[in-house]
Structure 1
C-alpha cells in the first residue's frame, strides 16, 4: 500500500504565529527620528524669526542679546540636536546594544524642546539650567553603551560631546556674568568642536559612501595624512577661539585650507555629480577650505570674520546636516538611498543660501541686507521641504517592518 504524503497544512492546523508587534510609538524607536524632525523644525522657525527681529520687522524681547540667541540656537539647538540624534542611532549600529528609546528617548526630546522654548519664554536662569542638562545626560548614556560593548574607538566622540557641554556651560555662566569669559568665545568653541566632529566623521564615511556607488574607484588617503589634517585643524581652531595673534592664526588657517582641499580632491568629488545624495556631502565639505581661507583673510582685515563663521555654519554644517539627515533617515527607514526631486531642491537651496550669506556680501557689501533676507528664506524653505517629506516617514514603522 502506497503511503500518501501528509499535506503541508490542513484546515485544522493552527495558523503560523504572527510577527511580534514592534514596541512603542514609531517616533520614539530610535534617536534620529525625533531629533532630526525637531532640528529641522527649529531651522524653519528660528532663522526667519531672527531675521525679522534683526531687520526690525518685529520685536523679539529676550533676556539676553538677540545675536547670542541666534548663534546659540543654531549651534546648541539645531546642530547639537542633529549630532545627538545621529549618535544615538550610530552607537546602536556600532555596538548592537540599545540606546535610549521609548519613554527615555521621549524625556530627552522634551528636555531639548523645553530648552528651546525657555530661551524665548522663561527667565534666563530657567533656560540655562534646562539647556545645560541635555548634553551631559546623553553623553552618559552613550558612554555606558560603548564601555559595555568595549568599543573604545568611538569613545573620543563622546569626549567631544562632553566638551560641547562644557562650552555650553561657559556660555551660560558668561551671560549670567558669573565668569569673565566672552559669551561669543564659548560659541566659537562650540563651532570649532562641531567642525572637529565633522572632520572626523566625514573622513570615515564620505570616502566609503563614494566608493560604494562607484565600481572600481580607488580612494587612497593615508592614516598619517588624516591624523595630520585633524591635528592642524584642531590647532587652527584652538588658536582662533583663544584669540591668538593674527600672525599665528593666518598661516595655520592657510595650511588647514590646503589640507582640507587636498582631502576633498582625494575623494574624487567629480564622480558624484549624478548622485545628489552624495554630491551634497562633497559640495558641503568644499565650504571647509573656503571657510579657512576666509578666516585667513579676516586676519588681514580684508573680510569680516562673520563670513568665515557662516561659511562653516551654513555651508559646512548646514549642508552636511541636510545631506546626512536625508541619507541616514532613508537608510534607517528601509528606503533606497536615492534622493527625490524635493530633496535635491532642498540641497540646492542650502547651497544657494550659503552663497548668498557668505560670498555675495564679500563681493558686493551694499547687497548685504537683501542677501541676508534671501538666504534666510531659502534656508527655511529647504528644511520645510525636509519636514513635508520626512514627517510621514519618521512617524511610521520602517518599510521593511523591522525595528528602528
Structure 2
C-alpha cells in the first residue's frame, strides 16, 4: 500500500480516508491481541486460586471445564481470529473487518468471556458460539472476492473449531452423549493443526530472512507427510483409539516434528529473541507428542502432554507472534526489547514448571502450578504494558493498519 498523502494543518482539512476512525478498530490484531492478553493475564491465576481452594467462585460450568474452554476458545481462538483478520488483508490487499464490524466482533468475544463468569449457561453458550462462524464468514467473503483459494482451508479450520465448540456446549447441556473434555481435546488438536500449517510457512522464511546465505530446503512431500501424521496422531488420541495405536502415531509425529525443527536451523536464531521464541516454542511440539506416547504406557499423566501443547507450543508461539506481528503492523522494528525478551522467557519457564517439574517431582505439583500461573500472568502483563499504548495509536509511519 502506498503511503497516505500528507494532511494539511488547516482547519478545513479532512483526514485521509484510511486513517479515519479509532486506531484500535483499524485492523483485527489490535482489539483481539489486547483482549486475549488480558484474559491470559487474569484467568489463569483465577483458575489456580479456585483449583487450589484459595478462592471460591461459582462458574456456569465445572471450574476445570471453564479453564480449559476459556484457554482454547477464548484465548487461543481469539488470537487466531485476530491474526487471520490481519493476515488475510495482507494476503489479499482487501479489507477484512474494521470500524463498527471489527468492534462488533471484538465485543462479541468480550461478552462471551464475561458471560462465562456471571451469566446463565444458555446465554454464555449462545454468545460463545457466535464468534467463530461470524469471523469465518467475514474471511471467506474476502478470500472469494480476491480469488485466494489457497487460504480457504484456514477458514475451514475455523468452522471445524466452531463445530468443536458446539459439541462442547451441547455436551454440557446434556444434549449429546459426548464427554465435554473430548470436544476440548478436539479443539486443542485443531489449534495445533493451525500451528503446524502457519509455522511451516513463516518460521523457515523468518529464519532465512535474517541469516544471509542460509538455505532451508522445504520438501512438499515431507510437509504433507508431517501434516498427515500429525492429524492422524491427534485424531486417534481425541477419539480414544487403542493405546498402542496412539503410542505409535504419537512417536512418529514426535520424530517428524523434531526433524522439521532441526531442518530450520534453530541454533542460528539464538541471538535473535523475536525469532528464537518461535523455535523454542515449536520444540515443545515433539516433546508433547513424546509425552503423549509415554502417557499411553501409563508412565506420565496425559495432562502433561496437554500442557506441553497448550503452554509450551500455543502459549509460546502466541507470545512470539503477537509481539512480532504487532511490531510489524504498527511500523516498528522487528527487534524485541528487554521487556519482550523477559515475557518470552517467562512463558517458556511457565511451561517447564507446568510440564517438566510435575513429571520429575510430583510432590511439587501445587507449587509448580502456582509458579507457572504467576510467570504466565506476568508475561502477558508485560505485553499489555508495552503494547496497549502502541495498539491504541496510529502506526508510527502514518499508514493504515
TM-score past 0.5 threshold: yes
Task: Name which one, 1 or 2, has greater alpha-carbon Rg.
Answer: 1
Q: Does 1:302 align with 2:288?
A: no
Which of 30, 49, 53 is matched with 1:56 structurally?
Answer: 53
Deviation track 1:152-205 (CA, whole Å, cap 9, x = no partner) reads: 000000000000000000000000000000000000000000000000000000
Q: Which residue of 2 aligns with 1:20?
A: 16
Partner Cα distance (2:276, 2:60) in 1: 41
Q: Which residue of 2 aligns with 1:238?
A: 235
Q: Which residue of 1 aligns with 2:274?
A: 277
Which of 163, 172, 178 is matched with 1:166 structurally?
Answer: 163
Deviation track 1:231-280 (CA, whole Å, cap 9, x = no partner) reads: 00000000000010001100000000000000000000000000000000
Q: Does 1:398 align with 2:388?
A: no
Partner Cα distance (2:398, 2:117) in 1: 40
Matches within 5 A, 1:2-401: 20=16, 22-401=19-398
Partner Cα distance (1:58, 1:298) in 2: 31
TM-score, length-scaled by structure 1: 0.95
Partner Cα distance (1:127, 1:18) in 2: 42
Partner Cα distance (1:359, 1:347) in 2: 18
Partner Cα distance (2:350, 2:179) in 1: 29
SS in 2 for 1:141: helix
Deviation track 1:47-70 (CA, whole Å, cap 9, x = no partner) reads: 010011000001011121100000
Q: Which residue of 1 aligns with 2:6?
A: none
Give, in angstroms, the shift of residue 18 of structure 1: 7.8
SS in 2 for 1:130: helix
Summarize the Cα distance change of 1:47–1:18 in structure 2 as closer, same or farther, 3 Å threshold. Answer: same
TM-score, length-scaled by structure 2: 0.96
Deviation track 1:348-392 (CA, whole Å, cap 9, x = no partner) reads: 000000000000000000000001100000000000000000000
Aligned length: 390
SS in 1 for 2:240: coil
SS in 2 for 1:214: coil
Any unmatched runs of 5+ in structure 1?
Answer: 1-13
Task: Check whether the contact 2:60–2:118 (CA below 8 A) recurs between aligned residues.
Answer: no
Give, in angstroms, the shift of residue 19 of structure 1: 6.5
Partner Cα distance (2:61, 2:95) in 1: 39
Give, in angstroms, the shift of residue 221 of structure 1: 1.9
Partner Cα distance (1:190, 1:103) in 2: 29
Partner Cα distance (2:134, 2:60) in 1: 26
Partner Cα distance (2:26, 2:15) in 1: 17
Deviation track 1:262-302 (CA, whole Å, cap 9, x = no partner) reads: 00000000000000000000000000000000000000000
